[in-house]
Chains A and B, each alone.
Chain A
C-alpha cells in the first residue's frame, strides 16, 4: 500500500488494474476519458487497451473478452451508454464469465453534455447492479468490489461516478504492484445454450436476474459502501434523517459538520437498493430528506419501501420540490435545504455586489482550423438558402457569433440524418452536415450510406483535424496510432467515402481561404451526396506556424478581422486591431481577410 494523489478517474483506472483487469476499451467522452488514458499509461505488461470506434463496439469487444474469462473494463460517458445500450441490455441476459465493469460517468449540470440522464435509472432499467462512488478513494475501492460482484453473479456491473468525483483529486491509498490480483483468462468455451441469445433462454434468464437482484438487496445491505452515519453529540431534530449518495453525500457531510450531526444513510449501491439497511434507518424516523443529483432514485426507493412495509415516514426530495429537479448540487445548495429541514437558521456569508462581468462561453481556440472551414462555407454560400447541421465535438462551438454556422446539433453523428430529413422536406435548401474526423468514424458512416442509397442531396463536410480534440486528443482510425502504441495503416476518410459510392470527394486546406471558398462553391452545386474534407491539424497538437502581427500604421480600424471570424487572439484597442501573441498561432486567416493588408504573418506558414 502507498499513497498517491489521484484524480477520481485515475483512481478508477488504478482500481481496475489492481483487480487484475485484462482488457480495457471505451470511447472518449467528458467526464470519463481519463480512466482509459490512465490504464494506457500505467498498465502492466499483458493488459490490453484500446479506444474503440464507438461505445457499442467497445461494449461488444468487452463482452467477447468477458465471455473468454477476461476481466474487462469498458468506459464511456452517459451519452455513450445510449449508443452501447443494445449490446448491454442483451449481455445482462446472457451473462459473462470474466468480471465485466461498465464505467459510465454522469454529468450533472450538465457541464459538457447534451442531457442530464442518470445511469442509476438506466441500471434499474437494464437490471444491472450499480455502484455510485462519493470520493476518489471510494471509486478505487468500489471498482475492485464491482469485479468481484460481477464474477460472483456473472453479470455486468456499473460503476457510475459523476463529474465532480471523476475530476476531483485526493490523496488516496492504493495497492503496490505486487498486491495486484492476477487473472488468467480460461478462454472461450463453446456452449450455444449459454452464449446464443434466444427467446426461451431469455425468459429463464429474466427470472434468474429478478431473483438475483431481489436477493442482492440483503447482500448489499452488508456492503461497507452502504452505511448509516450515526447521530453525533451535536445532533438535533429527533426523528429527522438525511439520505444521500455520490458527490452529494460529501456535501451532506459538510452540512452535517456545520448544522449538527443528524443521522444519515449513505447509499453506495442505488441498484439493487440496500433494502434491509434502509429499513433499519427508517425505523423511528418521522421525516427524511433525500439529497441526490439528477433523478430522484433514492427518493423513489424509500417511498416504495414506505408503501411496501406500511411505514409512516414522510420522504422529502425532488418529488415534493424540497430539492431542485435539474442541475448540480453544491455545498451551498445542500446546506440551504438541510438547515430549514433541521429547523436551523443558516448563517449565509454576505453576498458581494459584483460589477457587470463579461460572459465567457467556450470558443474555438485561436488558430483553430474549424474556424477557417466554417468561414469558407459561410462565404461560399452567402445569400443562398442553406441549413448547417452541426455535430458533437469542438466544432459545435462554430455556433457562436460571429460565425453562427451551426443550425442544429443533437447527438453523435446525427447531423447527417438531419440534413437528409430537411432535404426530403424542402429540396430547394442546400443542406450541409459538418462532422469531425473522430465522429465520422464513430457514427457517421452508416448515415452516409443511407443518404447514398435513398438518393438524398447534401454536402458532407468532414472537419479533419487528425485527432479527437474536444476530449483531449485521443487517436482514432484515421490517425494510425493505437493505445497499445502501435503504428498501423490509417483508415482513409476519402477511401471510405468513395467506397460507399460518393463520386465527388474533395480535400482542401481550410486555411487557404480562397481555394477553400472556391471548392465549397463548386462541390455544393453537385447533385446527390458529396463531400469536402477540410484537412488541417488541431493547433493544440501541432507546432504553431508563427505569429501574426498588426501593422498599427496601416490598420484602418475597420474591424473586419474581428467582426468576421471571432478569433480570441484578436481584440480592438485604441481604434486598431490587436493580436495577443500568447494565443496567436499564425494561422493567417485574419491576414487573408484584411482589406488593406495590415496583418502580416500569412507568409510565415
Chain B
C-alpha cells in the first residue's frame, strides 16, 4: 500500500501531533513511513503543513503536486491552498474552521464561506467536519487535531487499533481521556 497524506492548517493548531500519531500507527503496522513538518517561524500563526508518505519505494518525504491521496485540513483557506497537491479523485476532509489572519482583520480579503463553497464545488470526495460545534461539545478548542484524525481514520489505510495505540502512547496521561473522546466523536 502507498498513501500520501497532507495535513495543513495554521501554526499552533496541532498538525504536528496529528502527523506524529499517523506515523506512529504506521510503524506499528510495519508500514515504512516518512514525513516532513513545517518547523520554525511559520509556527507563529503562519501557514503550516505536514507531508506523510506511507509505503515502499518512497525516496523523499515530500509529496509532489497532484500526488496526495488525502488532504486533512485544519482550516478552510489552508485546505484550499493545498489543493494543487491533491490527486485526481483524491479525498479532502476539512474542519469548518476559519482562522482570520491579522492581515485580513485589518484590511479584509478573506471570505471563509467562499472557501467552503469552492471545496464543495470542486472536490468530489469532500467531507466538512463540524469542528466548531464538536469542539464546543467537547469543551476544549485544543483537540481539533484528534477530532479530525477521528474523521480521517477510515481514509488512512491504517487500522483503528493502531491509531488508538499510537494515541495512548503519545498523548500525555492527563489529556488522554479528552483526546480519546475527540477521536471517537466522528462515530
Contact B102 A359 (CB under 8 A): no
Interface string of B47-80 (1 = CB under 8 A from A): 1000000000101111111110000000001101
A251 and B40 CA atoms in complex are apart in Å by 23
Q: Are A394 and B44 in contact (CB under 8 A)?
A: yes
List which A455-494 residues lie within 8 A (CB) of chain B.
Answer: 470
Interface string of A156-182 (1 = CB under 8 A from B): 000000011001111100000000000
Determine, out of B104-112, B148-156, B178-186, the stretch whose residues face the partner at the interface: B104-112
Q: Indicate which residue in A3, A361, A402 contacts B46 across the interface (CB closer than 8 Å).
A: A361
Contact B43–A362 (Cβ < 8 Å): yes
Complex partner residue of A250 from B10, B27, B41, B60, CB under 8 angstroms:
B60
Q: Which residues of B contact A170 (CB under 8 A)?
A: 33-35, 61
CB distance from A560 to the nearest CB of B (A): 12
| B39: interface (CB < 8 Å) | yes
Which chain B residue lies CB-closest to A401? B106
| Residue A385 lies at the interface, judged by CB distance under 8 Å to chain B | no
Cβ of B17 < 8 Å from any Cβ of A? Answer: no
CB distance from B97 to the nearest CB of A (A): 9
B45 in complex: contacting residue of A332, A357, A360, CB < 8 Å: A360
| Bound Cα distance from A163 to B41, whole angstroms | 13
Given known contacts A169-B36, A331-B60, A568-B102, A352 and B41 CB-to-CB distance under 8 angstroms = no
Chain A, Cβ-Cβ closest to B47:
A360
Judge whether A88 is part of the interface by a CB distance below 8 angstroms. no
B130 close to chain A: CB less than 8 A: no
- B7 at the A interface (CB under 8 A): no
In the docked arrangement, what's the CA distance between A357 and B119, Å?
Answer: 13
Shortest A539–chain B CB gap in Å is 11
Does chain A have a CB within 8 A of B115?
Answer: yes
Task: Decide: A257 and B57 in contact? CB cutoff 8 A.
Answer: yes
Name the residue on B nearest A254 (C-beta): B59
Out of B24, B81, B105, B114, name the residue touching A572 (CB < 8 Å): B105
* Known pairs A332-B65, A352-B84, A360-B47; A167 contacts B60 (CB<8 A): no
Query: What number of residue pairs across chains A and B have CB atoms under 8 A from each other?
Result: 165
In Å, the complex CA distance between A357 and B118 comes to 12
Decide: A362 near B62, CB < 8 A? Known: A171-B33, A352-B83: no
Residue contact A365 to B44, C-beta cutoff 8 Å? yes
Which residues of B are found within 8 Å of A563, using beta-carbon distances? 106
Q: Name the interface residues of A562-605: CB closer than 8 Å to any CB of B.
A: 562-563, 566-568, 570-572, 580-583
Residues of B near A363 (CB, < 8 A) are 44-46, 101-102
Minimum C-beta distance from B133 to chain A (A): 14
Residue numbers in B under 8 Å from A360 (CB-CB): 10, 45-47, 77-78, 101, 103
Residue B168, interface by CB 8 Å? no
A residues near B42, Cβ cutoff 8 Å: 111-112, 362
From B12, B35, B64, contact of A169 by CB (8 A): B35
Structural contact, B44 and A364, CB atoms closer than 8 A: yes
What B residues does A112 contact at CB under 8 A?
40-42
Residues of A within 8 A of B101 (CB): 358-361, 363, 568
A30, B39: Cβ atoms under 8 Å?
A: yes
Q: How far is the CB of B57 from chain A (nearest CB, A)?
A: 7
Report whether A168 and B61 are in contact in the complex, using a CB–CB cutoff of 8 Å.
yes
CB–CB A354/B80 < 8 A: yes
- Give the CA-CA distance A566 to B35 in the complex, in Å: 33
The answer, among B37, B41, B45, B47, for a CB contact under 8 Å with A365, is: B45
For A340, what are the chain B residues with a Cβ–Cβ distance below 8 Å?
Answer: none
Indicate with 1 or 0, residue by residue over A309-351, a CB within 8 angstroms of chain B CB atoms: 0000000000000000000001110010000000000001111
B141 interfacial contact with A, CB 8 Å: yes
Is the beta-carbon distance between A356 and B46 smaller than 8 angstroms? no
CB atoms of A470 and B41 under 8 A apart: yes
Given A171-B33, A362-B44, does the pair A357, B122 have CB atoms closer than 8 Å?
no
Q: Indicate if the CB atoms of A5 and B106 lie closer than 8 Å.
A: no
Among A214-272, those with CB < 8 Å from B are: 247, 250-251, 253-254, 257
In the complex, whether B3 has a CB less than 8 A from a CB of chain A is no
* Contact status B77-A562, CB under 8 Å: no
Confirm or deny: A415 has a beta carbon within 8 angstroms of a beta carbon on chain B.
no
CA distance A254 to B63 in the complex (A): 10
In the complex, which residues of chain A have a beta carbon less than 8 angstroms from the beta carbon of B60? Answer: 247, 250-251, 253-254, 331
Q: How far is the CA of A163 from the CA of B42 in the complex (A)?
A: 13
A-contacting residues, B81-136, CB 8 Å? 81, 83-84, 87-88, 99-106, 109-110, 114-115, 118, 122
B90 smallest CB distance to A (angstroms): 10
CB distance from B127 to the nearest CB of A (A): 18
B141 near A352 with CB under 8 A, answer: no
Residues of B in contact with A (beta carbons under 8 Å apart): 10-12, 23-24, 27, 32-47, 57, 59-67, 77-78, 80-81, 83-84, 87-88, 99-106, 109-110, 114-115, 118, 122, 141-142
Closest 3 CB pairs of A and B: A349-B66, A582-B141, A250-B60
Give 12 A-B pairs besides A171-B23, A171-B32, A331-B62 with Cβ atoms closer than 8 angstroms.
Answer: A5-B24, A254-B60, A331-B65, A348-B66, A355-B80, A355-B114, A358-B103, A359-B103, A364-B44, A365-B45, A402-B106, A571-B100
A-B contact list, 7 entries, CB within 8 Å: A112-B40, A331-B63, A354-B83, A361-B101, A361-B103, A566-B105, A568-B99
Using CB atoms and an 8 Å cutoff, list the residues of chain A in contact with chain B. Answer: 3, 5, 7, 30-31, 111-112, 163-164, 167-171, 247, 250-251, 253-254, 257, 330-332, 335, 348-352, 354-365, 394, 397, 400-402, 470, 562-563, 566-568, 570-572, 580-583
